[in-house]
Structure formats: C-alpha cells, structure tokens
Amino acid sequence: MLPIYEPLTPGQADDIHRAALEVLDKAGVALDHPKAQEALAARGARISDDRKRVHLPEATVEHLLAMAPREFLCAARDPDEDMVMRLGACYARQGGGPFSLYDMRTGRARPLAVRDAVDSVRLVNRLPHINAPSTMTPHDLEVATYDVAACKLVLENTRKHFWCLTTAASHLEYELKMAAACSGGIENLRKRPTLSSIFCVIAPLRFPADEIDRLILCGEYGVNVMTPLTVLMGGSAPYVMAGCMTQMTAEFLAAVCICQALCPGLGQWYYTLFQYLDMRSGLSVTHSPELMVLAAAGAQMSARYGIPSLANSLLSGDCDAQQVLLQYGANILLGIMTGVTFQVGAGSLECGNLYSHQSLVLVDEILDYLKAFQKGMDVTPETLAVRDIVDQAEKGEYLSSRLTMKYLRKERHHVPDILTSPSLASFLENPATLVDRAQAKFERIMAAPFEPPLSSDQQREIDEIMREASSKLG
C-alpha cells in the first residue's frame, strides 16, 4: 500500500481542531430542537437565553467525539457485498438525486425516468468497484411521494447496500419501514443496516429541526448517517482556505456531538463537499486545485479523529467528456492517495443534476486502474529477482524465466476492460471512442438476465407500505 498524502503538518491539523473548538464554544450552533438541546445540555452544553443556540465546550465535544465508532458495518442483502467502514478501506458509491439522464455521446439530456433509475441500479449490481447504488429523482413518479417510491425501486433491484435520500422525516419513516420489511424486521435491520441515510447542516452552523428528526429515526432503525459539509468559500464559509477548514471542522464536530448525544454509537462519516464562490462570475465552482487541497485536508482531519471519511471524489462539475475524464482521474487518484474511505458521486455530472450510464461505467474502470496503482509493489528477497536476472542475462529474455512462470497468475498486472490501447491503424478501422466503449459495456450488462432480490412476501409488504405512504403523504 502506498503512503498517504497529507497537506497539513500535524501542528496545522491541531491548530484547525483548536480553532473549531473555539468556534463551537463561542458561537455555538443554531439548534432549537428541544430533544437535542436536552441531550446536549446533559453532557455539558450551554443553551442560549433565547433557546435558539447551543454552545459546545471543549469537554463536551471531546467526550462525544470519543463515542463515535471508528468502524461500522454497511451491510448488504448479499453478505459478500458488505462494506466495513474504517480508515484504510476504499469503497465507492453512485451519486444520489440526479433528475436528468445525460448521453455523453450526443451531449443531450432528458428527464430521468423510472426505467433509467432501475437500469442504473442493475448496472451498479454488475460493476465490481461501485459498491452501492443511490436513490434518484425520476420524473414519472408521484411528486408527493417520489423519494419513498425511489427507495422502493432500489430495494426491488439490488442486493448491495444503498444510500437513501429523503425530503422529510415523515417520508423517511416509510423508507425505513420498507427496508426493515426487506430485512425481516427492525431488529435484523439494526444488526445489519442495509441502507445509509443523511441529516444535514446548513452552513454556517445551522441544524434545522426536521434534520434532527431524521437523525432520531435513523437511530431508532440503526441506520448509519452522513452529514455533508457543503461549505461555499466566500459565500457560506470564509474565503480563505484555513478558515473554511475551521468552519467545516466545527460543523463536523457539532454533527458528531448531536448524533452521539441522541443516538450513541451510530456510525457516521466525515463528509466533505467543498465549493468556492467565483467573485468574477458569481458562480459556484466545484473543481479546482485549491479545492483538491481542501479535500485532502478534510481526509487528513478525518484520519486525525479516526472517523471514516467520505468525499465526492467521483462527482464531476461538467458534462464535456474530455474534461469529465480529467476530473475523474485527478479526483479519484486524490481520494485514493489521501485515504478516503468512501468515494461517492459515481455517474453524476454537472454537480449532481445529471446522471449518465456511460459515466458510471467509466468511473468503475478508472477505480479499477487506480486501485491497482494504490497497491504499490511487493519487495521481497525473491521478487528482487537477483537469481532470475543472473540466470537470464545471457538469454536476453524473461518469457521462460522461473519467476515469470511462478508469478504469471499470482502477481496481478492490470488488464483494462474498456481502456484499450489500439494502434492508429486499428482505431481508424473501428473509431469507437472511450465513451462508445462504455456504452457498449452498459448494453452488455443490461442484456444479462436479472434475478429479483425480494421474495413475494417481501414484495407484498413493501407494496402495502408504499400504498400507505401515498395515502398519508399524497
């Protein structure tokens, strides 16, 4: 395994941590949820006179941070697809929530439909380096309950762990009921959580009440949570990089405190999603060298705390194929070299608005390539090959050498699937681009037989839960 790249010195990481603690003590967080306030106050937090802010002293933060698990299970209905989240692991997840389907060959998009969402989940099933699908936003679902129905679509089509978006705590309850039904009950789901969910912080340092209600539900069902730290430098966070890291770290520590006070032992990630406000155009920028440094620093702070990290390394801010591939290569490599536990966003373009089947296939191929790079080399007295070099020096070839015969199958040399290396003559004869080859692989996967993951009883039960959700929420 190659060494981890760290942009911060240990002293700088400590400075950021201390600055974040000072912010939490002096400014606190906007949090007016009575149950959360009560749980935090019991651990030493101070509630403001107007009952709208909670101030977190250092002792409270350090106590609750120590309660956060350093390792936790993201189970799958197929145990062979289980993920154990811990530092040093390397997993990838599909992007969540896109509402348009994009064809990278034609450059055209259309509203994403149920059929597209189903195809995407079944595609993830067959891609070895995409470990989890996510819910999407199909346009041909009932608007009032689309998120619950999107969760049902994933449950009906995968045996992998998945990430579930929701619009409100009242909707999340039905999603978790369906997941429990597919697991054989809530206690089985608590033992083997087959989905992950989310509760959000609104930068700077605000936790809306409904987000806390979602967290409490996740705690009841034992479902691990992520809190995306979506800072916008110059907009919702300081324009300077170190100040941005201070605010983001304060928001992460606050999320840990709230989560562990309400749901002790629940798994959560250090989840970074950096952007900066371009003062010339007024636009939000999601990819730049500076943001890459911040992402690396976020992974380093995650390692400092011993908490598994999550980063949107697989998400592209653009849709031009050449530029997308540059961003994928740079960001995935950065995620691997900084030790990110869970890289997310696969298949999503234009900051998550678009989804592309070809993009998902390309991310899987790039992950395969860079994971092989990540392994480094095995240096032993035998693999140093002194004897082999001496023996073969006169022959001038190694096809017949002892080590070649021994390690031909044992030492894996990367064999690409669609990242082929055609000569000019063969390319001119069949000028299929990388995107064309990704489309062909998608079509091969879709042509394979599909075995539904749910039993007839499980299907009936989640159908009934969906009817109840439509009646109550519609």
What pLDDT is stored for residue 198 in this prediction?
Answer: 94
413 is a domain residue: no
- DSSP bridge pairs for 197: 225
Contacts of 272 (CB under 8 A, 6+ apart): 229, 248, 294, 295, 298, 299, 309, 310, 311, 312
Q: How many residues does the chain have?
A: 474
391 is a domain residue: no
CATH number, domain of 100, equals: 3.20.20.480
- Omega of the bond leading into 111 within 30 degrees of 0 (cis): no
Three-point CA angle 372, 373, 375, nearest 5°: 70
Strands, sheet with 29-30, edge to edge from the N-terminal-most edge strand? 29-30, 53-55, 46-47
237-245, long-range: CB < 8 A, 24+ apart: 237/203, 237/204, 239/276, 239/277, 241/290, 241/293, 241/294, 242/16, 244/274, 244/294, 245/16, 245/294, 245/297, 245/298, 245/301
Q: What is the pLDDT of residues 407-457, one digit of tens each?
A: 877 766 777 888 887 788 888 888 888 899 999 999 999 999 999 999 999
CA distance 269 to 298: 11
Written as six digits, the tokens of 456 are 């007839």
DSSP three-state, residue 284: strand
What pLDDT is stored for residue 1 in this prediction?
Answer: 62
279 is a domain residue: yes
**pLDDT higher than 90, residue 164:** yes
| Average pLDDT value for residue range 317-337 | 86
105 is a domain residue: yes
Share of the chain above pLDDT 90, in %: 70
CA distance 68 to 265: 6
118 is a domain residue: yes
What pLDDT is stored for residue 247 in this prediction?
Answer: 95
DSSP codes, 403-456: HHHHHTTTSPPP--SS-----HHHHHHS---HHHHHHHHHHHHHHS----SS-H
- Candidate from 37-46, 207-216, 252-261, 341-350 with smallest mean pLDDT: 341-350
267 is a domain residue: yes
395 is a domain residue: no
pTM for the model: 0.92
Burial of 257 (0-12, 13-18, 19+ CB in 10 A): buried
- Pick 440 or 281 by higher pLDDT: 440
Written as six digits, the tokens of 452 are 């539904």
Yes or no: say if 84 and 71 are a contact pair by the CB < 8 Å rule: yes
DSSP 70: S
**pLDDT higher than 70, residue 59:** yes
Q: Give the total number of structural domains in the chain.
A: 1
As a whole number of Å, the end-to-end CA separation of the chain is 52
Whole-number mean pLDDT of the chain?
92
Residue 100 lies in domain: 66-374
For residue 224, which amino acid is it? N
CA distance 329 to 338: 14
Number of H helices, E strands in the chain: 17, 19
- From the list 100, 345, 55, 88, the residue with the least C-alpha distance to 228 is 345
Contacts of 126 (CB under 8 A, 6+ apart): 445, 448
DSSP codes, 16-53: HHHHHHHHHHHT-EE---HHHHHHHHTTT-EE-TTSSE
286 is a domain residue: yes
**pLDDT higher than 70, residue 84:** yes
Three-point CA angle 273, 278, 283, nearest 5°: 75
